[in-house]
Amino acid sequence: MKGQDLIVSGFQDLRRAAIKFDVVSNELTTPNAKRIFKQYSDRCIWVVNDFITKPIWPEKLRDTMRRDFTSDELTTESITAKLDLLPPERREELEVLVDKWISEYKIKL
């Protein structure tokens, strides 16, 4: 499907937004503000679930969405934040290592 990477990326952004809206909702003390941000979070999740359940979209794309939506998004952000702390030469070493892991993973498939 044309634009599949953009679709998946957009829905990943919605998931991140839902998580962040939940955090904001939990930190607020004003009941109306808490409710509004909880609604924003619920709407983001609704959009993703609506897409996943529509049979008009390719099954492979919907499966990718399901897998991505149930993965631990905060782990990815945490790893990225830690990588930013490394000096450039260490990031390059890590990139080589990750490429090796990925190539080994592809072989097992």
User: Domains of the chain: which residue ranges?
Assistant: 4-108
Question: What pLDDT is attached to residue 107?
Answer: 47
Residues 65-107 have pLDDT tens digits of 787 777 665 566 667 767 777 888 888 898 888 888 877 755 4
* Region 14-41 average pLDDT: 90
pTM above 0.85, yes or no: no
CA distance 15 to 73: 8
> Is the pLDDT score of 22 beyond 80?
yes
Q: How far apart are CA 34 and CA 37, in angstroms?
A: 5
